[in-house]
Amino acid sequence: MRFQLIHLAYFASSLLFIVGLRGLTRPEAARRGIILAGVGMLVAIIGTLVHQDIISYQWIIGGLIIGTVVGIPMGLWIPMTKMPERIALSHAFGGLAVALVGVAEYVRHAIMQGHITQFTMGALGFEVFFGTVTFTGSLMAFGKLQGVLSGRPQTFKGQNALTLAMLATCLALIVYLIFNPLPGFFYTVVGLGFLLGVLLVVPIGGADMPVVICLMNSYAGLAAAASGFALDNNILIICGALDGGSGFLLAVIMSKAMNRSFRNVMFGAFGQLEAAVSDGVQKSVKAFTVEDAAEFLKNASSVVVVPGYGMAVSQAQHAVHEMQELLEEKGIEVRYAIHPVAGRMPGHMNVLLAEANVPYDHLIEMDAINPSMPTVDVCLVIGANDVVNPAARTDKSSAIYGMPIIDADKSKMVFVLKRSMAAGFAGIDNPLFYLENTRMVFGDAKNTLHSLNAELKK
Amino acid sequence: MSDQLIFGLYIFMLSVFVGYQIITKVPALLHTPLMSATNAISGISLVASLVIAGGKYGKLSTILGVIAVAAATINVVGGFLITDRMLKMFRRKPVKK
């Protein structure tokens, strides 16, 4: 009876998760979808609590309380600008939970009962492998995003060979464990998994974090799916597959948006080997004061804003929205051009601008806005660099050659809001800055926009 | 090959297929909420941690189980709250202040 009850609960929650996720295909239905998924989660948890193996509830309640006390602030109070860090951290928690479940299951079967089936052993091996890699890998990503670790790729000689050798050892050990489930080998897999997570992420630069975050999302899902196989629990397999598939798909979309292969992102150590491109010619830029820029904007009829990571760093999204409203009052059309990899995670710019109350029908994807760029009077580049670099279209020697970009250079006038002429993240020079129709407006993006808004109000 | 493996693989394959169909239709606009939603949903590993934390499998299992319950609960509670908070912000018309 209990068994049927649990399975009925899991069946209902699987259905609710799938229907809930489908809600995310439309912004209007998204909130209802996530609430349905939340109900599904509640049903699954309540259903599990009647499990016949559970003999005491005090530890469960303790864990649930700790998790809730930490989870509520992480859900309600973390500012939107910290979303990439928060997502990376939650992947780490997810990986840790699954890895610990795997270790506990191994101890129960192989050590306490003295017997473990080959199938369970294999599944547990993959579970702890993916779980541990996700845990340390996500912590490294978090460190890089938070600035605790250097955002630059950290590499040493023979690093890729070492990583690959460790990966191969891990997989060989898992296969060996299926036939000889010895504790020493099992814990070696756990240890190697933790190390591999570090080694895999440390050589990847901060600008590639969107791909890393997606991959960690995927690994966390695969770990959960493996635990579903080990525990013969279908809801874990279903949710793990949804999570793993979603993360993988997003990683593919992100890589495509950078015109790079997975292999290149994972092992390329992008942004370090590229010396700043310099052809020896001293190029000059034309600077604009805020007053000049404001005067120009007032006379425009169509303005496109291209936001980048710099907007997030300077937290300029609210000032951008204020500018949009001021311009719209003057009858000027304002749109936002969103590059898929702008920022540090998929959809980063959309979330920030939505937080600043920008209606989402103003946020236009790259492919949709590019054809109309030549008719745009002023293109305002705020904290974006590589995603508007025309070298990606023309310069075969450029590290970002082939990456699809927003055609800011094709608009009639480009304003670039930038701190200084220091090279961008990847250290690649940006020919956009030197174009005839480009004007640099130097300073912190938020301060610049505040003075710009003051000018526009005059 | 055990029945368990074959049956599990069927479930896995079908879920990947359903997931692919849904996720390719999620607009780039909602990619961050998608990621935090799938992360919250993968907090389902909580159901496995619960059985281990409350089960009679010895002290070590209980300790590991409790940590796993706490970590998974953080993702479930925090994940659903923040996804809802994000989705609340996506509006077609700006809110008048």
DSSP readout, A351-407? HHHHHTT--GGGEEEHHHHGGGGGG-SEEEEES--GGG-THHHH-TTSTTTT-----
Backbone angles phi, psi at A358, to 5 degrees: -75, 125
Residue A321 lies in a domain: yes
In the numeric block, the tokens 């907090």 are attached to: B43
Domain boundary pick from A77, A98, A123: A77
Give chain B positions within 8 Å (CB) of A23. Answer: none
Query: Across the strands, what pairs with A438?
Result: A414
Interface of A with B in 331-350 (CB under 8 A): 338, 340, 345-348, 350
What is residue A392's predicted lDDT score, i.e. its pLDDT? 87
A279 vs A404, residue with greater confidence: A404
Query: Is A440 part of a structural domain of the chain?
Result: yes
Percent of chain A with pLDDT over 90: 55
B39 to A213: CB separation less than 8 angstroms, yes or no: no
Let me know whether A171 and A264 are in one domain.
yes
Q: Are A101 and B45 in contact (CB under 8 A)?
A: yes
Cβ separation of B44 and A348 shorter than 8 Å? no
How close does chain B come to A295, measured CA to CA in Å? 26
- Output the domain CATH number for residue A422: 3.40.50.1220
Would the CB atoms of B35 and A41 count as touching at under 8 Å? no
Helix (H) or strand (E) holding A210: helix A209-231
Output the CA angle A157-A171-A200, nearest 5 degrees.
35
Q: Which tokens belong to A378? A: 């002023």
Is there a contact between B32 and A214 if contact means CB atoms under 8 Å apart?
A: no
Q: Mutation target for A interface from B7, B10, B13, B15: give the one with most A CBs within 10 A.
A: B15
Q: Which of A77, A95, A119 is the last residue of a domain?
A: A77
Interface of A with B in 5-34 (CB under 8 A): 10, 13, 17-18, 20-22, 24-25, 27, 30-31, 33-34
State which of A77, A107, A129 marks the end of a domain.
Answer: A77
Clarify whether residues A369 and A430 are in a common domain.
yes
Yes or no: say if B15 and A241 are a contact pair by the CB < 8 Å rule: yes
Average pLDDT over residues B33-49: 92
- Residue A151 within a domain: yes
Dihedral angle computed from the Cα positions of residues A164, A167, A168 and A172, in that order, rounded to the nearest 10 degrees: 170
Given a cut of 90, whether residue A363 has pLDDT beyond it is: yes
Burial A269-302 (b: 16+ CB within 10 A, else e): bbbeeeeebeeeeeeeeeebebeebbebbeebeb
Residue A138: half-sphere exposure toward Cβ, Cα within 13 Å: 28
My answer on whether A89 and A182 are in the same domain is: yes
Where do the structural domains in chain B lie, given as residue ranges? 27-89
Question: If contacts are CB pairs under 8 Å, which of residues 73-92 in chain A contact chain B?
Answer: 73-76, 78, 80, 83, 86-87, 90-91
CA pair distance A416, A4, nearest whole angstrom = 63
Question: B94–A357: do the CB atoms touch at under 8 Å?
Answer: yes
The confidence score (pLDDT) of residue A427 equals 60
Residue-level pLDDT at A279: 47
Let me know whether A376 and A309 are in one domain: yes
Q: Which of A68-72, A254-258, A359-363 has the lowest mean pLDDT?
A: A254-258
CA pair distance A141, A221, nearest whole angstrom: 17
Share of chain B above pLDDT 90, in %: 68
**One domain for residues A341 and A252:** no
Q: Which residues of B touch A103 (CB under 8 A)?
A: 64
Does A334 share its domain with A268?
no
pLDDT of residue A424: 53
Give which of A22, A32, A41 to mutate to test B binding, by max B Cβ within 10 Å: A41
List pLDDT tens digits, range A273-323: 444 444 444 567 888 888 888 888 888 999 999 999 889 888 999 999 999
* Total CB pairs under 8 A between chain A and B: 370
What's the confidence (pLDDT) of residue B4? 80
C-alpha to C-alpha distance for A412 and A408, rounded to whole angstroms? 9
Q: Which residue of B has its CA nearest to A65?
A: B70
Domain that holds residue A310: 290-457
Q: Do A89 and A70 sit in the same domain of this protein?
A: no
Which DSSP letter does residue A349 get? H
Domain count, chain A: 3
- Cα separation of A67 and A93, whole Å? 10
Q: Distance between CA A48 and CA A6 in Å, rounded?
A: 6
Q: Are residues A337 and A211 in the same domain?
A: no
Digit-coded pLDDT (tens) for A111-166: 888 888 999 999 999 999 999 999 999 999 999 988 888 777 777 778 888 888 99
User: Do A416 and A396 fall within a single domain?
Assistant: yes
Tell me the β-bridge partners of A414.
A379, A438
Share of chain A above pLDDT 70, in %: 95
pLDDT tens across A173-192, in order? Answer: 999 999 999 999 999 999 99
Predicted confidence (pLDDT) at residue A194 exceeds the cutoff of 80 = yes
Question: What pLDDT shows up at residue A393?
Answer: 86
pLDDT tier for residue A230 given thresholds of 50, 70 and 90: very high
Are the C-beta atoms of residues B14 and A18 closer than 8 Å to each other? no
Q: How confident is the model at residue B38 (pLDDT cuts 50, 70, 90)?
A: very high
- Indicate whether A429 and A445 sit together in one domain: yes
Look at A264 and A411; give whichever has higher pLDDT: A411
Q: Do B32 and A351 touch (CB under 8 A)?
A: yes
**In the structure, what pLDDT confidence band is assigned to residue A53 with cuts at 50, 70 and 90?**
confident
Q: Give residue A277's pLDDT.
A: 45
More confident residue, A336 or A383: A336
- Tell whether A18 is covered by a domain: yes
Residue A16 resides in a domain: yes
Which region among A10-14, A53-57, A302-306, B33-37 has the lowest average model confidence (pLDDT)? A53-57
Band (pLDDT 50/70/90 cuts) for residue A221 is very high
Q: Is B12 left (phi over 0), alpha (psi -120 to 50) or beta?
A: alpha
Upper half-sphere CA count for residue A13 (Cβ side, 13 Å): 29
**Test the B interface: residue of A34, A103, A187, A357 with most B CBs within 10 Å:** A34
Q: Is A184 contained in some domain?
A: yes
**What is the ipTM for the molecules in this complex?**
0.93
The pLDDT value recorded for residue A257 is: 85
Q: Which residue has the tokens 């814990």?
A: A187
Residues A233 and A107 in one domain: yes
How remote is the C-alpha of B5 from its chain's centroid? Answer: 23
Residue in chain B lying closest to A90 (CA): B75
Considering only CB atoms, B70 lies closest to which of A45, A67, A246, namely A67
Looking at the complex, does the CB of residue A96 fall below 8 Å from at least one CB of chain B?
yes
- Enumerate the active-site residues of A: 386
Shared domain for A32 and A179, answered yes or no, is: no
Q: Which residue has the higher pLDDT, A269 or A17?
A: A17
> In the structure, what pLDDT confidence band is assigned to residue A425 with cuts at 50, 70 and 90?
low
